[in-house]
Amino acid sequence: MVIAVNTRFLQTNKLDSYASFVLEIFKRIANQQPQHQFVFIFDRRVLTDFGFAKNITSVVISPKVKDIVSSKYWYDIKLPFGLMKYKPDLLVQTTGFCSLTTSIPQLLILQDLAFKHYPNHIAQNQLAYYKYFTQKFIDKSKHIVTLSCFSKKDIESSYNVEHNKIGVVYSAAKPIFKPLDYNEIEQVKDGYADGRAYFLFVGGFHPRKNLMNVLKAFSLFKKWQRSNMKLLIAGAVAVQYDDILIKLKTYKYKDDIVLLDYVDETQLARITAATYCVLYPSFFEGLSVPIIEAMQCAVPIITSNNSSMPEIGGNAALYVNPDEPNDLAEKMQLIYKDENLRSKLIEKGLRQAATFNWNTATEKVWGAIIATNNI
């Protein structure tokens, strides 16, 4: 079998949680299925060596996708034409979009429907594109994979789709996310937080990640506790970055804020394992890998009580209303003052994290590939 995989967003080592999921899953599948051939499709030359197996052929189908118009041209004209040489038995679409013109059976990986719940967080032309074409993509695909039961129910309630057409595959945390010993924790604190304990906010500067309310909650926490704890902010620069920098100039506790911007996985794993608590009060998530990463590092996490986050955190997290900074601040204070609670959350978190693993995820995606090929 020849399996084509749309990997065009795997461009550098600066991969977000979803890109890391796609890379990890399909590298594993290719290694486990040496009798099959895989065609990884890019829309530009890749500068990063991802260490692909010998049965993976990397193919560049230009031009580079820059916007909605070029995206439609690439998916419906260039992609089908470029794949003719390889004659794939199926095509895995990892970007949430399908080609509406190809006759190749397509497996669609649809992460979530964030655009429906928070339409103000994306450009209007992109929103119009999603609204018009998502049902068409669902109809065109032979099988769909999504990353949480929440997202499956969301897709089923929002679109005309058969229940058995959608499967759920949970992501996992990489092995580098693991507990550190006391000396290692102190080294990380010395390197990033002037030797102090710190909260870690993960998710970056996208509006959906809710950084502004985190800053408000941190102010309340500092006011109530008069603690010397810091707040580390990790994540890629996004549209709110300049606005946040301006606001931080007048922020009362600006000296206790550390902007990390992008950090590689090895650094992030160590920073996560050394934090007092991870803060992840996102407004909406279909994929909640930072929760698993924190739990696997033996670190407690405070996250939101909506979308997929309670599903991933189970009974091992503290939950807040992401619209209420006071709620978050109270939970930060609670975990700061109650060491027994913190220890219990860590213990529960290690058990909860163990329920998410790459072997199971890989098996389920491979099962979806087989199901797509047999339809």
Q: What is the pLDDT of residues 283-302, one digit of tens each?
A: 999 999 999 999 999 999 99
The confidence score (pLDDT) of residue 249 equals 82
Looking at the domain that runs over 182-353, which CATH code has it been given? 3.40.50.2000
**Residue range 81-109: mean pLDDT, rounded:** 97
Which overall architecture, per CATH, does domain 2-172+357-374 show? Answer: 3-Layer(aba) Sandwich (3.40)
Asked whether 358 and 319 are in contact (CB, 8 A), the reply is no
pLDDT tens, position by position, 31-72: 999 999 999 999 998 877 788 899 999 999 999 999 999 999
Which long-range contacts link 294-298 to residues 24+ away (Cβ below 8 Å)?
Answer: 294/349, 295/173, 295/349, 295/350, 295/352, 295/353, 296/173, 296/177, 296/178, 296/349, 296/350, 296/353, 297/177, 297/178, 297/179, 297/180, 297/269, 297/272, 297/273, 298/179, 298/273, 298/346, 298/349, 298/350
Asked if domains 2-172+357-374 and 182-353 share a fold, the reply is yes
pLDDT of residue 22: 95
Q: Where are the domains of the chain?
A: 2-172+357-374, 182-353
Top-confidence residue, 238 or 219: 219
pLDDT band at 205 (very low <50, low <70, confident <90, very high): confident
Give residues with Cβ within 8 angstroms of 363, minimum separation 6. Answer: none
Q: Long-range CB contacts (< 8 A, 24+ apart) of 104-107?
A: 104/4, 104/80, 105/142, 105/372, 105/373, 105/375, 106/140, 106/141, 106/142, 106/372, 107/141, 107/142, 107/143, 107/144, 107/145, 107/368, 107/369, 107/372
One-letter amino acid identity for 128? A
- The chain-wide mean pLDDT, for the chain, equals 94
Q: How far is CA 221 from the centre of its chain?
A: 28
Output the pLDDT for position 238.
Answer: 59
